[in-house]
């Protein structure tokens, strides 16, 4: 393993075609030409790590410098990506060496108290201290049954179908406002908007090009936007059987949100709606006359790892006062392993190492799961993942760690 660690190094621009092809080969996917031909603008090669066997790349990883919304604030976040090990080198400890080197460097650099990633399989990252902290709703339904409640306030605004440039002009600022109040949301700079709006026909898998809406008030201000695609289909006996795939709906007001959804649920020739990346707690359900008709098959989305427990816990806010000692078990990152005194309230928090007796004992994975406020400490206790030492500590910490807005991340990277 040490052997692997010594041989890891960042990829250079010259390495990129080989490096990126190795990544796609491990995923058994065809790489899009736009990705391998030139280093994408959002790539940060100096934060990558690769393992070479001769001139062959046999393992890859990368880090994106992102900003993550946490309860009550935003923190710099290491967005871990490009994780792959060639089939010829799997199950020999290469990923373990990569993770160890990456987390050690993140700790030593001191930039990001938190790391996050999207896991191809949920069996991989728990051993490295990551845990699912947001969930995708994976919503779907038959649009004929998805009418809005009769008393929904639809306001005075209107929906306009726009091109990508007009959409972007409106969406950038609006997203930057709404993302700050939703834990799990990520900031999008120009490079990330470029990437998100890329619409390679080879990646559409039978769906239309991406289409865009904006919601405009009578005074001309834009209060919402949506992006979607339509997959056209017909039944054998000639009935329209299309699907609208909703990628994102964001709004500053409830009427804008409702009107955008009403538009999306009433497109001609569409029978089914799918919103795979929507929040499992999307307000849409509560706008519907028949809420059960909106089906949901949630599964894990963004996984979170506290790189530095003290800095991470001090960086968020707590809606109820907490004053406890947490004994954190972290076998993979020994600098976190130990007792942490946490004092938190709605306006701020402090967290430092202590020798005092613990009130709660939990591993760093459980702390990552609850960090964004979406996973209950009582649930983790019920699963044997949290041990209460002082009576009432789970109730106190569990109340303080929750957050009114369900964490959600629509940005896969
Ligand atoms: C997932 C992947 C990176 C694992 O790399 P690896 O070098 O084989 O991992 P390691 O040898 O360091 O494994 C460490 C441990 O994790 C386990 N593990 C690794 N991948 C696993 C998986 N997919 N499912 C379950 N366990 C897994 C190993 O069995 C090993 O367990 P042990 O310590 O009890 O022996 C590699 O198989 C791969 O590239 N897969 C395809 C691409 C992919 O899914 N990448 C992840 C993107 S998020």
Is the Cβ atom of 92 under 6 angstroms away from ligand 1? yes
Question: Is 4 annotated as catalytic?
Answer: no
- Candidates 4, 78, 11; CA nearest to 20 is 11
Task: Flag whether pLDDT at 161 surpasses 80.
Answer: yes
Q: State the Cα–Cα distance between residues 269 and 226, nearest whole angstrom.
A: 19
What is the model's pLDDT at position 34?
80
How far does residue 95's CA lie from ligand 1's centre (Å)?
6
Q: Which tokens is 215 given?
A: 């919601």
Query: Across residues 20-32, what is the average pLDDT?
Result: 92
Could you give the domains of the chain? 2-112 (3.40.630.30), 139-297 (3.40.630.30), 308-401 (3.30.1050.10)
Contacts (Cβ under 8 Å, ≥6 apart) of 259: 154, 155, 157, 158, 159, 215, 224
Q: Count the Cβ atoms, other than its own, within 10 Å of residue 273.
A: 23
Task: Flag whether pLDDT at 58 surpasses 60.
Answer: yes
What is the model's pLDDT at position 196?
95
β-bridge partners, 117: 303
Angle at CA of residue 48, ends 44 and 53, nearest 5°: 140
Question: Is 225 annotated as catalytic?
Answer: no
Q: Which atom of ligand 1 is nearest to the CA of 59?
A: 39
DSSP assignments along 329-362, one per residue? E-SSSTTT-EEEEEEEETTEEEEEE--SPPSEEE
Region of 17 (left: φ > 0; alpha: ψ -120 to 50; beta: rest) is: alpha
Contact 308, 341 (CB under 8 A): no
Give tens-digit pLDDT for 362-382: 999 999 999 999 999 999 999
Q: State the Cα–Cα distance between residues 315 and 294, nearest whole angstrom.
A: 36
Give tens-digit pLDDT for 306-335: 999 999 999 999 999 999 999 999 999 999
Residues of the chain by 3-state class (helix, strand, coil), percent to 5: 30, 30, 40
β-bridge partners, 395: none
Task: Flag whether pLDDT at 2 surpasses 70.
Answer: no
Eight-state DSSP code of residue 65: E
Contact 335, 308 (CB under 8 A): yes
Q: State the Cα–Cα distance between residues 249 and 171, nearest whole angstrom.
A: 10
**How much of the chain exceeds pLDDT 90, in percent?**
95
Indicate the Cα dihedral angle 6, 129, 362, 121, nearest 10°: -150
Contact 284, 363 (CB under 8 A): no
Q: Count the Cβ atoms, other than its own, within 10 Å of residue 276.
A: 16
What is the model's pLDDT at position 3?
75
What is the model's pLDDT at position 193?
98
Is the Cβ atom of 27 under 6 angstroms away from ligand 1? yes
Query: Across residues 134-154, what is the average pLDDT?
Result: 98
β-bridge partners, 234: 240
Contact 232, 172 (CB under 8 A): no
Task: Flag whether pLDDT at 1 surpasses 50.
Answer: no
Catalytic option among 19, 64, 125, 212 = 125
Q: How many residues does the chain have?
A: 413
Is the Cβ atom of 5 under 6 angstroms away from ligand 1? no
Q: Which atom of ligand 1 is nearest to the CA of 94?
A: 7
Q: Count the Cβ atoms, other than its own, within 10 Å of residue 202.
A: 9
Please return the burial class of 33, using the count of CB atoms within 10 Å of its CB with bins 0-12, 13-18 and 19+.
exposed
Contacts (Cβ under 8 Å, ≥6 apart) of 337: 328, 329, 330, 331
Backbone φ and ψ for 92, nearest 5 degrees, come out as -125, 10
pTM for the whole thing? Answer: 0.97
Q: Which atom of ligand 1 is nearest to the CA of 97?
A: 12
């Amino acid at each position: 393993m040490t052997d692997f660690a010594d041989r890891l190094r960042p990829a250079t621009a010259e390495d990129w075609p080989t490096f990126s092809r190795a990544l796609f080969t491990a995923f058994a996917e065809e790489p899009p030409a736009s990705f391998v031909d030139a280093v994408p603008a959002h790539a940060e090669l100096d934060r990558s790590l690769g393992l070479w066997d001769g001139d062959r790349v046999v393992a890859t990883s990368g880090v994106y410098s992102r900003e993550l919304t946490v309860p009550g604030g935003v923190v710099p976040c290491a967005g871990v990506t490009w994780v792959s090990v060639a089939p010829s080198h799997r199950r020999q400890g290469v990923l373990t060496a990569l993770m160890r080197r990456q987390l050690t460097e993140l700790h030593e650099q001191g930039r990001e108290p938190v790391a996050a990633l999207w896991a191809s399989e949920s069996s991989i990252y728990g051993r490295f201290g990551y845990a699912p902290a947001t969930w995708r709703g994976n919503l779907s339904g038959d649009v004929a049954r998805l009418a809005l409640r009769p008393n929904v306030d639809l306001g005075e605004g209107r929906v306009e179908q726009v091109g990508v440039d007009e959409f972007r002009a409106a969406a950038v600022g609006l997203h930057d406002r709404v993302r700050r109040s939703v834990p799990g949301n990520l900031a999008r700079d120009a490079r990330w908007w470029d990437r998100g709006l890329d619409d390679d026909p080879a990646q559409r898998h039978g769906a239309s090009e991406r289409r865009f809406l904006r919601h405009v008030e009578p005074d001309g201000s834009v209060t919402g936007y949506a992006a979607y695609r339509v997959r056209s289909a017909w039944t054998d006996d000639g009935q329209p059987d299309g699907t609208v795939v909703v990628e994102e709906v964001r709004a500053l007001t409830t009427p804008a949100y409702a009107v955008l959804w009403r538009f999306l649920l009433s497109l001609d020739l569409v029978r089914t709606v799918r919103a795979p990346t929507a929040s499992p707690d999307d307000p849409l359900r509560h706008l519907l006359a028949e809420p059960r008709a909106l089906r949901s098959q949630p599964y894990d989305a963004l996984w979170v790892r506290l790189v530095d427990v003290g800095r991470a816990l001090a960086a968020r806010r707590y809606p109820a006062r907490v004053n406890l000692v947490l004994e954190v078990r972290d076998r993979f990152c020994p600098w976190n392993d130990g007792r942490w005194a946490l004092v938190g309230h709605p306006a701020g928090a402090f967290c430092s190492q202590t020798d005092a007796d613990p009130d709660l004992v939990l591993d760093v994975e459980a702390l990552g799961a609850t960090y964004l406020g979406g996973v209950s400490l009582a649930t983790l206790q019920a699963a044997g993942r949290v041990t209460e030492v002082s009576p009432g500590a789970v109730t106190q910490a569990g109340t303080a760690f929750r957050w009114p807005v369900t964490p959600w991340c629509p940005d896969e990277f």
